[in-house]
Amino acid sequence: MRLTPHLRLSATDLTRFMGCQHATVLDLAYLRGEGPEPGEASEDAALFQTQGDAHEDPRPHNALPKALPGVSGLRSGIRSA
């Protein structure tokens, strides 16, 4: 959940809302500087958060590099008839 000029919700935020609407109210209050500070996450919750953040990151993690050292003239593998 991010408060930029507009509120941005992640899939995790929506799932949290479906599980507990009060938790979402607390999260929004915290973003506005009015609510209580969130508690420490368990190890499992921290792992899920890390994986969720990586999933939501707009940068491509599996993109091929533009150039590989020592490799030139790569072909696409498509043969013409």
Residue-wise pLDDT tens digits, 11-62: 888 888 899 999 899 988 988 888 888 778 788 888 888 888 887 776 665 5
- The answer to whether 48 touches 15, Cβ cutoff 8 Å, is no
Confidence band (pLDDT; 50, 70, 90) for 76?
low
CA-CA distance, 55 to 39, in Å (whole number)? 23
Q: Percent of the chain, pLDDT > 70?
A: 70
CA-CA distance, 34 to 14, in Å (whole number)? 21
What residue segments make up the domains of the chain, in order of their start?
1-36
